[in-house]
C-alpha cells in the first residue's frame, strides 16, 4: 500500500526518493505528487504561449516602467529581496501574474500561490500552517500570491489579516478590480498598491516578435513569419492586453498551412480572424464599469452629446443592464438639469419605463434619445445645491415649525396656538403672502438660487415679481 503514497522529491542534484512525503521533507527538497510532477513537465511545452514566455527576471519584463524602472521602488524591493505585502491592480494582460512569477524566481522566501476563484478556507489554513513551520523551523518567510484576490469574500480576507500583520505571510494580491472597492481596508493599509497600465503598442510588438522567434519557450520551432502589418494590427487592436495578442499569434501559427515557400505566414487577414472582435474593456462589476459610467454622466453634465452617446454605446456593447443606465440618466436629469428644463426628468422617466417594457435591442434607441436630451438641455444644479444646503441646516440648526404653519386640522389645535395667524396665499394679490415660512433663526437663509439658464430665468422673474423686486 505504500505505493499509494509514492511521491517524487526533486533536489538540486536531480536525485529521486520514493516513500511517504514526511520522511523526506528537508530544507533543500521539494515534494510533489507523481501526477503533479508529470503535469508540470507537460505544462512547460503544452501551456498557452502567453504563459510559456512569461519573463523570468526583471530585465525580461516588458512595459510597466513607471513601477519597475531601475530607479523605482518595486524594482529596488524585488532586487534587494525586501518585499512587503503588495497588491497589483490593472486590466487583464498587463503583467500582474508575470510580476508575481518574477518575484517567485528571485526571492529567497518560500513562494506559494492560490487562486481566489477556487481556494477555500482549508487551502488557506494549509498555507498558514506551512508558513508558520517555515518561519519557526528555518527562519524562512513565506510569500503568498493570491490571484483574483477580489474574489475572496470578507471572511476569507479577514482570515489572512492577522498573519499578514504579524509577518507570517507576505501577501501579493492581483486583481483586475479597483482594490479600494473590493479589498479589505485593513489589508490595503498593510499593503503597497501598484497600478499596472495597459501595455503600449511598442511593448506588445516586442512581445510578439519575441514569441515568434523564441525556440525554447515560444513558437520559434515553427519558423513562422509574422508580417509587419499583421504585427502592427495585433498590437493596436489588443488595446494593451498582451495575452490576447499572443493568443492570436499562437492560434494563427498552429492553424495556418505553410505557403509556397514552406513558411507559415501570419498576415493581417489571419491575425484578424484569430483575434476576432475585441471586447470593450468593461467589467460590469469592475473598475472599468465605474470609469465608463462616470464618463457618461460627466459628458451629459458637460453638454457633450457626442461623448455621452459614445459612452452609452460602450456600456450597451459590453452588456450593461439597461435599467441601470436609465436610472443614471434620471439622476442626471434632476441633479444637473433640474428646473432649467423640467421636461428633462419627464423624458428620462418615460425612457426608463419604455426600456423596461420594450427591452433590447430597441431600448438603445430610447436610451440614446434620453441621454442626448439631457446632454443638450440647459444645465442647473440649483435644486441639488438647495437640498444639500437645506440638509446641512437641518443637521446644524434644529428649529421648530412656526406656529401659524402647524397643523390645525384636529380638535384642540387652536388651544395650542397651532395654525393661528396663517394667511391663505390665494386670498392675497399675486396669490402670495409675505408671511414667514422658514423657522426662526433661518429666515435670512436662501437655499434655492435659480440659475440664469433655461426655465430658471422664468422662475427667477416670477420670484422677483411676487416679492416686489422687479424694476
Residue percentage of the chain with pLDDT more than 90: 30
What three-state secondary structure class fits 380?
coil
pLDDT at 281: 53
Per-residue pLDDT band at 279 (split at 50, 70, 90): very low
pLDDT at 249: 92
Across the range 106-124, mean pLDDT stands at: 87
pLDDT at 250: 92
CB atoms within 10 A of CB 330: 20
CATH 1.10.579.10 corresponds to the domain 287-376: no
Element (H, E) at 294: helix 287-301
Within 13 Å of residue 437, how many CA atoms lie on the same side as its CB? 8
Query: What is the sign, positive or negative, of the torsion defined by CA atoms of 180, 93, 203, 287?
Result: negative
CA–CA gap between residue 274 and residue 298 (Å, rounded): 36
Phi/psi of residue 10, each to 5°? -105, 125
CATH code for the domain defined by 396-466: 1.10.3710
**Per-residue pLDDT tens over the stretch 353-367:** 999 888 788 889 999
Query: Range(s) for CATH 1.20.272.10 in the chain?
Result: 287-376
* Cell representation of residue 4: 499509494
Per-residue pLDDT band at 59 (split at 50, 70, 90): confident
CA–CA gap between residue 378 and residue 381 (Å, rounded): 10
Output DSSP code: residue 303. T
Query: What is the sign, positive or negative, of the torsion defined by CA atoms of 228, 230, 236, 240?
Result: negative
Per-residue pLDDT band at 309 (split at 50, 70, 90): very high
Query: Range(s) for CATH 3.40.50.300 in the chain?
Result: 64-195
Contact 424, 416 (CB under 8 A): no
pLDDT at 357: 85
What three-state secondary structure class fits 273?
helix
* Cell representation of residue 119: 481556494
CA–CA gap between residue 184 and residue 154 (Å, rounded): 7
Classify domain 64-195 at the CATH topology level.
Rossmann fold (3.40.50)
**Mean of pLDDT over the chain:** 83
**Per-residue pLDDT tens over the stretch 135-192:** 888 888 899 999 989 888 888 888 989 999 888 899 999 998 888 888 888 888 889 9
Contact 427, 313 (CB under 8 A): no
CA–CA gap between residue 168 and residue 141 (Å, rounded): 7
Query: Range(s) for CATH 1.10.8.60 in the chain?
Result: 201-275
For domain 201-275, the CATH architecture is: Orthogonal Bundle (1.10)
How far apart, in Å, do the first and last CA atoms of the chain sit?
105
Task: Identify the bridge partners of residue 193 per DSSP, sorted by sequence position.
Answer: 87
Contact 93, 48 (CB under 8 A): no
**Per-residue pLDDT tens over the stretch 13-57:** 333 334 334 433 434 334 445 545 454 554 455 688 888 888 888
Dihedral, CA of residue 278, residue 283, residue 287 and residue 290, to nearest 10: 100
Amino acid at each position: 500500500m505504500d505505493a499509494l503514497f509514492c511521491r517524487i522529491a526533486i533536489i538540486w542534484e536531480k536525485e529521486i526518493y520514493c516513500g511517504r512525503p514526511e520522511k523526506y521533507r528537508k530544507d533543500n527538497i521539494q515534494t510533489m505528487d507523481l501526477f503533479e510532477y508529470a503535469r508540470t513537465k507537460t505544462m512547460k511545452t503544452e501551456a498557452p504561449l502567453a504563459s510559456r514566455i512569461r519573463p523570468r527576471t526583471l530585465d525580461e519584463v516588458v512595459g510597466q516602467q513607471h513601477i519597475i524602472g531601475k530607479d523605482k521602488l518595486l524594482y529596488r524591493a524585488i532586487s534587494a529581496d525586501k518585499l512587503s505585502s503588495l497588491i497589483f491592480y490593472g486590466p487583464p494582460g498587463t503583467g500582474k501574474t508575470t510580476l508575481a512569477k518574477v518575484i517567485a524566481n528571485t526571492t529567497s522566501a518560500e513562494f506559494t500561490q492560490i487562486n481566489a476563484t477556487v481556494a477555500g478556507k482549508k487551502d488557506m489554513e494549509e498555507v498558514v500552517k506551512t508558513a508558520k513551520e517555515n518561519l519557526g523551523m528555518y527562519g524562512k518567510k513565506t510569500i503568498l500570491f493570491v490571484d483574483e484576490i477580489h474574489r475572496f469574500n470578507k471572511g476569507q480576507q479577514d482570515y489572512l489579516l492577522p498573519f499578514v500583520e504579524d509577518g507570517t505571510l507576505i501577501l501579493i494580491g492581483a486583481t483586475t478590480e479597483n482594490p479600494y472597492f473590493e479589498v479589505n481596508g485593513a489589508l490595503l493599509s498593510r499593503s503597497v498598491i501598484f497600478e499596472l497600465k495597459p501595455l503600449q503598442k511598442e511593448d506588445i510588438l516586442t512581445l510578439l516578435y519575441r514569441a515568434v522567434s523564441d525556440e525554447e519557450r515560444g513558437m520559434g520551432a515553427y519558423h513562422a513569419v509574422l508580417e509587419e502589418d499583421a504585427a502592427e494590427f495585433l498590437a493596436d487592436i489588443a488595446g494593451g492586453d498582451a495575452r490576447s495578442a499572443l493568443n492570436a499569434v499562437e492560434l494563427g501559427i498552429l492553424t495556418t498551412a505553410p505557403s509556397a515557400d514552406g513558411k507559415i505566414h501570419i498576415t493581417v487577414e489571419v491575425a484578424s480572424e484569430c483575434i476576432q472582435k475585441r471586447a470593450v474593456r468593461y467589467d460590469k462589476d469592475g473598475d472599468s464599469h465605474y470609469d465608463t459610467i462616470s464618463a457618461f454622466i460627466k459628458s451629459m453634465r458637460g453638454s457633450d452629446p457626442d461623448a455621452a452617446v459614445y459612452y452609452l454605446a460602450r456600456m450597451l456593447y459590453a452588456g450593461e443592464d439597461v435599467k441601470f443606465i436609465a436610472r443614471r440618466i434620471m439622476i442626471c436629469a434632476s441633479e444637473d438639469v433640474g428646473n432649467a428644463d423640467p421636461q428633462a426628468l419627464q423624458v428620462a422617466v418615460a425612457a426608463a419605463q419604455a426600456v423596461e417594457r420594450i427591452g433590447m435591442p430597441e431600448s438603445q434607441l430610447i436610451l440614446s434619445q434620453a441621454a442626448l436630451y439631457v446632454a443638450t438641455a440647459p444645465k442647473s444644479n440649483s435644486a441639488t445645491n438647495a437640498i444639500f444646503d437645506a440638509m446641512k441646516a437641518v443637521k446644524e440648526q434644529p428649529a421648530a415649525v412656526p406656529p401659524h404653519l402647524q397643523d390645525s386640522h384636529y380638535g384642540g389645535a387652536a388651544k395650542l396656538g397651532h395654525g393661528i395667524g396663517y394667511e391663505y396665499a390665494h386670498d392675497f394679490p399675486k396669490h402670495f403672502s409675505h408671511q414667514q415660512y422658514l423657522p426662526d433663526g433661518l429666515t435670512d437663509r436662501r437655499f434655492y438660487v435659480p440659475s440664469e439658464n433655461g426655465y430658471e430665468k422664468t422662475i427667477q422673474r416670477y420670484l422677483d415679481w411676487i416679492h416686489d423686486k422687479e424694476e
